[in-house]
């Protein structure tokens, strides 16, 4: 009996190492599918900082906005609680608060569109576009995965896995679905992502560059997840920085940083309104 017990202890680490990258990611995908439902029971604070800089590094437009996020059965509703920004106009900065400006030029349009597209996905409980990170069951089918090894990440046992698009999958070049390549750090205990880093797997096709005068360099995203009180895993930080050149000369560097915090689990059977949350903050 003693020998058998020792043998089992020796074999345990070997058993833990038999999981393939695909098996690990299948577990992650199942947990991510379930996590969408778990996140619908949480209210949290969201802060978004976005900037547009010209080719000399000068800020052309920047904005900070803060929200109370209240995920629901279908999508996340967000109430704006703080807004502040500035934009360059005829060599001087124009500041604004509370209300978005009516002008601001092309920089303002890009900032508004990017904020809505990248942080306010109507089909997501956390607002982030899932096409940017191939972690759910529907996205996994588009990619191949390779296990690079195990490591310790912030006192947690973790797997590091790289991914790239399948050559056989056709991606639409005019959408945000990629294709992406990168790596993901997975909790070996919970099979939840801890960190995901992506980059555009292929550059903008030459036909698009010529016909539209558009080129994007360095496009990629990084997101970190954290286990919050109540057991749900949430993205707590999210960011990107890339340069874009359009109209055969207009060039900008765009940075986006998002932080989620102050997670509070609510009774899913009750109706929580923004007015009630505002009253609780007083």
- Judge residue 240's burial from the number of C-beta atoms within 10 Å of its C-beta, 0-12 exposed, 13-18 middle, 19 or more buried: buried
- Distance CA(128)–CA(196), nearest Å, equals 13
Torsion of CA 134, 65, 237, 181, to 10 degrees: 30
pLDDT in tens, 183-240: 999 999 999 999 999 887 765 444 334 333 444 555 778 999 999 888 888 889 988 8
93 pLDDT above the threshold of 90: yes
Three-state DSSP at 8 gives helix
Please report the pLDDT score of residue 33 as a whole number. Answer: 75
**Closest to 112 measured CA to CA, from 156, 69, 65:** 65
Phi, psi at 161, each rounded to 5°: -130, 135
- Distance CA(226)–CA(234), nearest Å, equals 6
Spatial contact of 234 and 262, defined as CB atoms under 8 Å apart: no
pLDDT in tens, 112-165: 887 887 777 766 666 676 667 778 888 888 889 999 999 998 889 999 999 988
Domain range list for the chain: 54-281
Both tokens of residue 77?
């509703």
H or E stretch at 2: helix 2-16
pTM here? 0.79
């Amino acid at each position: 009996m003693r020998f058998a017990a020792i043998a089992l202890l020796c074999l345990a680490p070997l058993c833990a190492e038999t999981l393939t990258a695909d098996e690990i990611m299948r577990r992650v995908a199942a947990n991510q599918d379930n996590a969408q439902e778990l996140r619908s029971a949480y209210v949290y604070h969201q802060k978004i900082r976005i900037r547009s800089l010209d080719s000399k590094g000068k800020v052309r437009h920047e904005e900070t906005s803060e929200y109370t996020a209240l995920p629901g059965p279908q999508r996340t509703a967000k109430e704006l609680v703080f807004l502040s920004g500035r934009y360059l106009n005829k060599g001087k900065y124009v500041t604004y608060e509370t209300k978005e400006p009516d002008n601001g030029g092309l920089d303002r349009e890009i900032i508004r569109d990017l904020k809505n597209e990248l942080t306010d996905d109507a089909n997501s409980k956390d607002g982030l576009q899932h096409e940017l990170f191939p972690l759910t069951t529907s996205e996994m089918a588009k990619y191949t995965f390779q296990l690079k090894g195990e490591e310790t990440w912030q006192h947690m046992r973790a797997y590091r896995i790289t991914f790239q698009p399948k050559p056989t999958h056709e991606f639409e070049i005019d959408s945000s679905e990629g294709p992406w390549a990168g790596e993901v750090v997975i909790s070996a205990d919970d099979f939840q992502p801890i960190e995901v880093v992506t980059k555009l797997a292929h550059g903008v096709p030459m036909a698009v560059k010529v016909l539209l005068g558009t080129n994007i360099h360095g496009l990629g995203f990084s997101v970190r997840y954290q286990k919050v009180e109540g057991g749900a895993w949430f993205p707590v930080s999210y960011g990107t920085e890339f340069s874009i050149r359009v109209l055969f000369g207009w060039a900008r560097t765009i940075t986006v940083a998002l932080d989620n915090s102050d997670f509070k689990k609510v009774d899913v059977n009750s109706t929580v309104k923004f007015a009630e949350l505002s009253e609780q903050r007083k």
